[in-house]
Structure formats: structure tokens, C-alpha cells
Amino acid sequence: MYYANGDKYDGEWKNDNKDGKGTMYYSTGDAYEGDWKDDVKEGEGVYNYINGDRYSGHWENDCCNGKGKV
């Protein structure tokens, strides 16, 4: 799926929402690869920031939450 703002999603869908495994490439250069539930980051995933920082761990309701590494 290509978005008007330049974002791109490549992954699984359910009921027209990102759901399952997928990767979101943001127009900012950031990228998230991992689990999605009802269109938000939910479960395990890795967020790579354009500046080289990286968060790998648990996500809940679109936010890093719980155990993870920066």
C-alpha cells in the first residue's frame, strides 16, 4: 500500500487494517518491521530510525512498551 504522504506498507491485512506481520516504510526514512493489530503496532517489532538508532522489543497500542532494547 502506498500512501499519499510517501509512506509505504508491505504486509498482512485484515478487514482493511494492517494486521499480522508487516513493514512500514515512513517518508521520513524511518521503518518499522513487526507485528500489527487493528492498524497499530502491537506485539514484537523493530523500529529503525533514520539517524541510526533502533528499538527492538515489545509494542502496545502503537508505542514501545515492556521489554526491549534501544
Q: Record the pTM.
A: 0.93
- Please give the Cα distance from 27 to 3 (Å, whole number): 9
What residue ranges do the domains of the chain occupy?
Answer: 8-69
Tell me the percentage of the chain whose pLDDT exceeds 70. 100
Q: What is the pLDDT of residues 34-44, one digit of tens each?
A: 999 999 999 99
By the 10 Å C-beta count (0-12 exposed, 13-18 middle, 19+ buried), 7 is classed as: middle
What burial class does residue 16 get, using C-beta atoms within 10 Å of its C-beta: 0-12 exposed, 13-18 middle, 19+ buried? Answer: exposed
